[in-house]
Amino acid sequence: MFELAHSPAGFLSHMLGEALPHDLPLDAYEQWWETRGRAISSDVDRAGTAWIRQYDLMANRIDELVFPSGYRDMLLEGYQNGVIWRGFAPANEGLTAVYALGYIAGYYDTGLYCPYTVSLATAAVVDKYAAPEVRDRYLPRMLARDETVWQGATWMTEARGGSDLGGAVETVARQTRDGWRLTGEKYFCSNANAELAVVAARPEGAPPGVRGLALFLVPRYRQDGSLNVYIRRLKDKIATRSVPTGEVELRDSEAYLLGKPEHGIYLIMEVLNLSRVANNIGSVSLMQNALAQAYAFASERQAFGKRLIDQPLMRRQFEQKWLGLHAAFTLAWETVLLAETAWREQAGSYSERFQLFRIMIHLAKYWTAEQAVQYAKWAMEVNGGHGTLAEFGVERLLREAMITDIWEGPPHRQALDGLEAMERKGAHRLLFAHLAPYADSETLQDMQARVEAHLALAQDEKEASAFDLFDALAPFAASALVRKYEAIEMMAGRN
């Protein structure tokens, strides 16, 4: 069974079977990675941070990012296969197809999955909230199926932080006779070279806090063709070198308001929701890769007269990791299924289905990202000293897993936002109703009582012990969902 860990397309088929969209090129996309993409990805990682060519020969500011050879080919392969456009295709493949392709990309390169993630979130809010003429101008470019495709980005964080957007965002939006203009600085800008970005800013005269934020679409170039966004520098970070992360300056930059100004924080959260789903998928695909690399070593390495995989303790660990991978996948994939049903809902009229989607995202993001870190660490341990050497690539998994814990809100943010969803929206009751057909009834009752007791605590204690609650609630949800997949025979005959 462990051999299946070497094929992300095979694992998706194993877990989902007929639930996968038909004619999705998963096997072909995986084959491209095996024959070409894996080597390109390794070269990009070894080359480190890209560099900026800030001026052309005529001293014009261009802020062009320079990547290792092959990077653009690697990036385009996902776009052309449909990692964005399939989510909007009339054939109704939807987000299931998008996240399935993203799973394969994340398996081979966690960092590369970030451009696809933020491009999807950008396209989604443009599709839902942009004025018709803005949507018609820009969305087709993001859904192109060839090398002309435009990328998106989601720039919220400033130097003072990202979790407390209400207190940290200082970018100002000014409405002029010619349209909106933004001035400010963004500090962690993933996919810094994107043609379009959605940006959090505070319109002049808006109230303080998150309620005063609005969301804007900012093109890389002005209508006259000059730069609209300036890249100050790129970050030299621990990993995910296949996504350029930089500091960006907005200087009276042309922008387009998305939705209503008073709904800005809701649009920002919608962007984060789709990105968190991708983070869940990327975390689980990294877990599978870690299991695959550990198995490849353990099935060949001899110690004390046996292969490592044949040692009883090691064998037991592999069995536990295999079951853990299944549980994490079901939790992550449930957020995909819920996203499919809820992502088109409009700010100001969210249903209970949307609130269920929200609490499931918080649980999955909290749990799968930490599991990715632990699986990567374990894969290094299985490989012993070889696992620490850059030449073998196992240590890269740990470098990249660390960022999945932080992207789109660290565990603290997930737990506290999850508590807020329970307190204000009764999301825990929606969750328990969703899981009831699959969960053990006695365990379900115990968990219901535990959550209600937790919500009755004094506020400080409720927040201080939030991790204790989520450490119990997330694996409970995962175990129930494993039963769901078994019950509908998605996993029948493939165990």
Could you tell me if 191 and 318 lie in one domain?
Answer: no
Is 482 domain-assigned?
A: yes
- Dist. CA 132–CA 117, nearest whole Å: 24
Residue 205's CB is within 10 A of a number of other CB atoms, namely 8
Instruction: State residue 492's pLDDT score.
Output: 44
Q: What is the pLDDT of residues 397-407, one digit of tens each?
A: 999 999 999 99
**d(C-alpha 112, C-alpha 21), whole Å:** 23
Q: Which band of pLDDT confidence, cut at 50, 70 and 90, is reported for residue 490?
A: low
**Same-domain pairing of 219 and 328:** no
Task: Please give the average per-residue pLDDT across 308-326, as a whole number.
Answer: 96
Model confidence band, residue 90 (pLDDT cutoffs 50, 70, 90): confident
What's the pLDDT tens digit per position in 178-210? 999 999 999 999 999 999 999 999 999 999 999
Last residue of a domain, one of 219, 236, 262: 262
240/100 same-domain check: no
Over the stretch 415-450, which tens digit does the pLDDT of each residue have? 999 999 999 999 999 999 999 999 999 999 999 999
Q: pLDDT band at residue 23, thresholds of 50, 70 and 90?
A: confident
Mean pLDDT, rounded, for 38-59: 94
**Are residue 46 and residue 171 in the same domain, yes or no?**
no
Burial 380-389, CB ≥16 within 10 A → b, else e: bebbeeebee
The Cα 384–Cα 278 span in angstroms is 31
pLDDT value of residue 340: 95
Name the average pLDDT for the chain.
95
Contact predicate 470/415, CB 8 Å: yes
364 and 403: one domain?
Answer: yes
Instruction: Tell me the C-alpha distance between 277 and 274, whole Å.
Output: 5
* 179 and 273 together in one domain: no
Q: How far apart are CA 430 and CA 415, in angstroms?
A: 17
Q: Is 415 found in the same domain as 270?
A: yes
Asked which of 122, 142, 162 is the last residue of a domain, the reply is: 142
Residue 495 placed within a domain: no
Task: Tell me what pLDDT residue 92 has.
Answer: 58
Q: What percent of the chain has pLDDT over 70?
A: 98
Q: What is the CATH number of the domain that holds 57?
A: 1.10.540
pLDDT of 494 > 60? The answer is no
Residues 356-388 pLDDT 10s: 999 999 999 999 999 999 999 999 999 999 999
Question: Is the pLDDT at 41 greater than 60, yes or no?
Answer: yes
Domain end marker among 262, 288, 313: 262
Residue 492 domain-assigned (yes or no) = no
Query: Are residues 303 and 209 part of one domain?
Result: no
Do residue 397 and residue 355 come from a single domain? yes
In a domain, 228, yes or no: yes
Let me know if residue 149 belongs to a domain: no
The predicted model gives 117-135 an average pLDDT of 98
pLDDT of 113 above 90: yes
Q: Work out the average pLDDT over 289-295.
A: 97
Average pLDDT over residues 268-289: 98
Considering the domain architecture, whether residues 220 and 190 belong to the same structural domain is answered as yes
CATH number of the domain encompassing residue 400: 1.20.140.10
**Residues 251, 387: one domain?**
no
Mutual orientation of helices 466-487 and 312-342 as an angle, nearest 10°?
A: 90
Confidence grade of residue 459 (pLDDT, cut at 50, 70, 90): very high
Q: Which domain covers residue 76, as residue numbers? A: 2-142
Does some domain include residue 169?
Answer: yes
Are 243 and 328 members of one domain? Answer: no
Tell me the backbone φ, ψ of residue 67, rounded to 5 degrees: -115, 165
Tally of domains in the chain:
3
Indicate which CATH number applies to the domain containing 200.
Answer: 2.40.110.20
Pairing of strands 245-258, 196-203: unpaired
pLDDT for res 209:
94
Instruction: Provide the pLDDT confidence category of residue 162 given band limits of 50, 70 and 90.
Output: confident
Is pLDDT at 22 greater than 60 in this prediction? yes
